[in-house]
Structure 1
């Protein structure tokens, strides 16, 4: 599978409607085949995570952005089903708290960054500040900013700040993968209706979800601006077709595994002194069995 298809080329001006099909599924025609491939990648990810944790050099930050009902939660659940919780963390960012509004807009996500050796997932992220805040500019008035640049200068400023942050992170060993789950408006409607009609899914639905659909085109324009200004060589955006959840999970899992494979992760090598300590420890442990063996020999006489 050629994943260049899903990357937003740095410096480009893409159109979600023209360049990216939410229903695209490449040459995979059967969900059963995709399930086999997904399971293989789940196992690969578990193995890579073990080495990442042991090496303790890199951290992996995975960012998910999407419209409501695009499948972020289920994608995270399925793709990471085999990872060790000890080296894994997920943060979901919703409306900022009073404490968070008393800091700069990057504060709440920066303090949640994964440590070296760990995989961290942001379910929504600092990109909300150039998406939701752009569609609903009244949000900026709550952020207690010292001043607001005129026109669209605030968004250009934030794009530059975000690019600067991501370059800093990558330079310091935080590998960044950014996924936009590209669901169509018609598929979102279908999933909303399923949530309303299924009692076990009612809790997932809010009437605010329907109200936000009115701003669909505004959100698409805001996302395009984000992709065109923040898809960089160091941290490109991947636009993942999301009308078929099975295909979304397949692509996301394989991209994560491919990125970890590219890091050429290795288990740490021990010093000669440490190796000698291991040999000594092995000798001591093996000698613990000798008294038991003598007793057994006595019983057999």
Structure 2
């Protein structure tokens, strides 16, 4: 397999690259010199940081030119559908402990992480005609596609090779700042999740890298488990919900999509939290 990894992440997250290589993948920093589109961008800026939109374009182009297949990992319905096994499992687990979540929260890069957990719960509620739970999706303040994006038809990749999707987007040409939550740097939101946001069924909130990382440190000390930089952006919501619950005196059950550990990202945490 050939993996086109956003250039910023390629160098800032070497252990993720090493892990993929251990599994047999060939990992290329994107933009790369393997495609015309990549070479064009590098000619304009040899230090181009890259973006997920660019990496998608290169992967599609490379597959097309070498008789391969492009494997999508988020955004589209076919991908989200299979991942909803996570939400189905969570429903069963909640039933086993006799609890029912009042809030379902998680981070959004392209949308599959949050949708995977939330959709089985939300589907039941939509079919019943009444939505009781609060669904909150969080993202990066540095890449505010959900809170400042436009709901429109836009390309899912920068080279405009793939069909347009109706989604919240800050533009397929957007080049994100080099924040460490690489998975949140995508310019758009899955069409189904965008529709739910547009109808006010799912609420969106954004948090800065600095604030999220502080919560990641606190979470690590309390739970003994280090969250991934992306996952950390869901943690500030917990504080906000708890504060509201304390004021009202109500018990609230919060279900969080804890999308990954941060053991491969300790260097990123150190550079922000410990200034190393």
The answer to whether the superposition gives a TM-score over 0.5 is no
Query: What TM-score do you get using the length of structure 1 for normalisation?
Result: 0.26
Greater fraction strand: 2
Bigger radius of gyration:
1
Greater fraction helix: 1
